[in-house]
Structures are given as C-alpha cells and as structure tokens.
C-alpha cells in the first residue's frame, strides 16, 4: 500500500501484520507496481521514482531527473522502465540500476499517459493536445499527432495499426499509426470524451461527460447511434458476449443497450444492487475498472461502508462485510483474501470463511453453496489495522 505521507508499506497478507515501511519519498506516492523480478517500483509527487526490495522493503535505487510530479511508469519488455511526468517529459531508465538512459522531450504540457507499441515505438499523450511517437530505443521523436484543441485523455492502438484518441475537446480522432497523419475526426459529443474502445465488428464505442455513449463507423468515423439515458458523466462501458453493451455512470446506475442500434434495454440497474442481483455484470464492470479485484468468476466489490465478494459461477448470495467507514476494494487474492482500504486510513485483509474453515476463491466458486451458506468474514475492529 502507499500513502499521501510519502511511504509505502508491506503487510502480511494472512495476518495483516506490518512487515516493512518503505520510506524515502518526500511527497505523496502516486503509484507503485510489482516488477516481474519481485522488486517494487514506486513514483511520487516529489518527482522521483524508487526501486525497492520486494521482500525486505530495502531501498535499492532512486531514479532522479523529473522536475515535477511523476504521473505514471511501466516496465518495458527489455527490463527498462518508462516514466512520464507533469514536467512535460518522458524518461527511459535502466531497470536494474535505475540509471537514466534517455529523456523524451517535446510535449509542452504535462504528459497524461504513455504505452509501448508492438513494433517497439512509444506513444504518449498530453495536456498540450498532442500525441507523440518516439523511438523506443533512443527516445528520439518520430512524429507529432496534432489536431486536438484540448487535453488528450486517452489513446488506443487499433489492430490495423491506426491509433484512436479522445479528448476534453469533445472529439475522438483516428490517426495513421506509422506517419501520424490525421485520418478522421469523430465529432458529436458535447462534453469531454472520457473513454472509447473498438467493438468486435470494427465499430467504435465512446462515452462522455455529456451523459451519452456513441457508436461510430470504425473506418470513416461517421456517427451511427447515440445512446441516451444516463443522467450524469458516463465513466465506462463494455460489450457483452451476446452483443449487448453495458455502461455505468456517476448517476449510480448501470444500463444495458442493444449493440446494433444503441436502443436501451430494460430499466437502469442501481449499482448498489449489482452484487446481489447481477453478479455477472458486477464481474465484467470490475474487470474493466479494477482488474486486481477479480479472480476467475468472482469479483471483489465495495459500496459505501460495505465490501465483499460475489461470484457468477454459482447461485449464491455475495459474502459481505459492513464496516464503520467508507471502504474501497483494492485486490482480491486467490487465497480468499479481499484487500480494502478505509477512509479512516486503515487497510483490512478480509478473509473468506465457511463456518470456522478458511476457504480460497476456488473453494468459494466451486462449492455449490446455497444462498446464505457462505459465512461472512468476522467483522474487524474499526480501530485495528488487521482482521
């Protein structure tokens, strides 16, 4: 776990006992990830990244060079590390020693995100309204994809090599993934476009702060349908295997749509009811928003002061826990532990039990229990860090 106080902490996943405090950052830690070799990489508002021993928590290296908040980082396949920052640059680092290798300079505002492409190039997007392509080895600039007039909030490489982007300027754009030429502007939303994805038939689905989703022709970018019904910012959407589309919004509902014509199907579903009434929809939503809280056919969930796990593999009520402060699901571990954080700054490891027997997620999914049979985890003391 990591915190606004600049530290990370390691905990025993079974007992919840603290194992190590990783201290060194001098400002809020924005994120961390576990590298394939077991080390931990973290990044912070203090402008640094740090490498830590994943067992002892001992500091290994400080990656210094950014001059503002580090927005994110990821490991590359060749063991290098890519980072991006509010200082307008991306940087490449030696993943073993932490030594700086290259600075990717060109953006004139903060860098929102970046990803490596299949051919080894790097794609980045920024608050300056541009996307940029970089040589993934030297960091040399290759192309600037200019056209958006506001922050670029996200991009996605398409299977045919084109690039899809979406922006605060209310539009999506399609680009040639080689030279960076603009191919089409998808214009129709009346507020910032928060996300988009290609559908299996080649069409594009987008969703926006304007409360709507839209379907577009994936080749020409022509508008096909507007999915209207949400009353607040649409935060995400996914196609279902049967062709329907489901979406969720700050209006606290999930909605189903006909994937062909975009017409609404049924009534809106309150998200608070998903664990009990629609575990399959809960599962797919969590897969998109919080993959760490999903295991096989079971999803961890949180709603206000409640948290728990629900499975769509067997017809059983969700296992739930009621706390004394708002909770947020962080991870669902295969051994049946649900990790949640509380607004009171505590972290809890909630363990699955059947009666007095500890069970795993596999036990929970394959047990054939009937509603009410899966016992709840013992409620934690709200003043304690562990359960």
Hey, where are the domains in the chain? Answer: 293-387
Per-residue model confidence (pLDDT) at position 348? 85
Tell me the mean pLDDT in the region 326-336: 91
Average pLDDT for 218-230: 97
Condensed to tens digits (0 to 9), the pLDDT of residues 123-138 reads: 999 999 999 999 999 9
Across the chain, mean pLDDT equals: 91
Tell whether the model's pLDDT for residue 317 goes beyond 90. no
Q: What is the pLDDT of residues 251-285, one digit of tens each?
A: 999 999 999 999 999 999 999 999 999 999 999 99
Q: Is residue 323 very low, low, confident or very high in pLDDT (cuts 50, 70, 90)?
A: confident
Position 368 pLDDT exceeds 70: no
Q: What is the pLDDT of residues 36-84, one digit of tens each?
A: 999 999 999 999 999 999 999 999 999 999 999 999 999 998 999 999 9
d(CA 187, CA 27): 40
Does residue 386 register a pLDDT over 50?
Answer: no
Checking if the pLDDT of 239 tops 70, the result is: yes
Q: pLDDT for 98-114, tens place per residue? A: 999 999 999 999 999 99
Judged against a pLDDT cut of 60, whether residue 96 lies above it is answered with yes
Confidence class for position 367, pLDDT limits 50, 70, 90:
low
Give the per-residue pLDDT at 379.
39
pLDDT at 387 exceeding the cut of 80: no
- Could you tell me the pLDDT band of residue 329, with boundaries at 50, 70 and 90? very high
pLDDT of residue 64: 97
Residue 373 reports pLDDT greater than 50 = no
pLDDT at 376: 40
Please state the pTM of the whole predicted model.
0.88
Question: How far apart are the C-alpha atoms of 68 and 99, rounded to whole Å?
Answer: 18
């Amino acid at each position: 776990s990591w915190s606004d106080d600049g530290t990370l902490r390691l905990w025993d996943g079974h007992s919840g006992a603290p194992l190590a405090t990783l201290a060194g950052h001098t400002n809020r830690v924005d994120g961390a990830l576990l590298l394939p070799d077991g080390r931990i990489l973290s990044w912070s508002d203090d402008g640094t990244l740090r490498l830590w021993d994943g067992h002892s928590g001992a500091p290994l290296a400080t990656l210094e060079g950014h001059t503002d908040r580090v927005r994110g980082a990821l490991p590359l396949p060749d063991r290098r590390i890519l980072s991006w920052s509010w200082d307008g640059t991306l940087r490449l680092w030696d993943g073993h020693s932490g030594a700086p290798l290259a600075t990717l300079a060109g953006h004139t505002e903060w860098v929102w995100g970046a990803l490596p492409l299949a051919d080894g190039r790097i794609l980045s997007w920024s608050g300056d309204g541009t996307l940029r392509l970089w040589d993934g080895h030297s960091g040399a600039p290759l192309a600037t994809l200019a056209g958006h007039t506001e922050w670029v909030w996200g991009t996605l490489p398409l299977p045919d090599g084109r690039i899809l982007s979406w922006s605060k300027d209310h539009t999506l754009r399609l680009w040639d993934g080689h030279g960076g030429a603009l191919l089409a502007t998808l214009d129709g939303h009346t507020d910032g476009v928060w996300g988009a994805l290609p559908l299996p038939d080649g069409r594009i689905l987008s969703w926006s702060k304007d409360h709507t989703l839209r379907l577009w022709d994936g080749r020409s970018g022509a508008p096909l349908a507007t999915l209207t019904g949400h009353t607040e910012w649409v935060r995400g959407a996914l196609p279902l295997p049967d062709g329907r589309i489901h979406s969720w919004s700050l209006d606290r509902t999930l909605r189903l749509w006909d994937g062909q014509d975009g017409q609404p199907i049924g009534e809106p579903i309150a998200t608070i009811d998903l664990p009990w009434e629609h575990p399959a929809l809960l599962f797919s939503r969590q897969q998109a928003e919080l993959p760490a809280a999903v295991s096989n056919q079971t999803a961890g969930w949180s709603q206000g002061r409640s948290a728990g796990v629900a499975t769509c593999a067997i017809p059983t009520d969700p296992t739930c826990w009621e706390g004394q402060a708002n909770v947020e699901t962080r991870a669902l571990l295969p051994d049946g532990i649900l990790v949640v954080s509380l607004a009171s700054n505590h972290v809890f490891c909630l363990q699955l039990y059947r009666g007095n027997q500890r069970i795993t997620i596999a036990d929970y999914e394959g047990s054939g229990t009937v509603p009410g049979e899966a016992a709840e985890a013992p409620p934690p003391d709200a003043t304690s860090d562990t359960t």
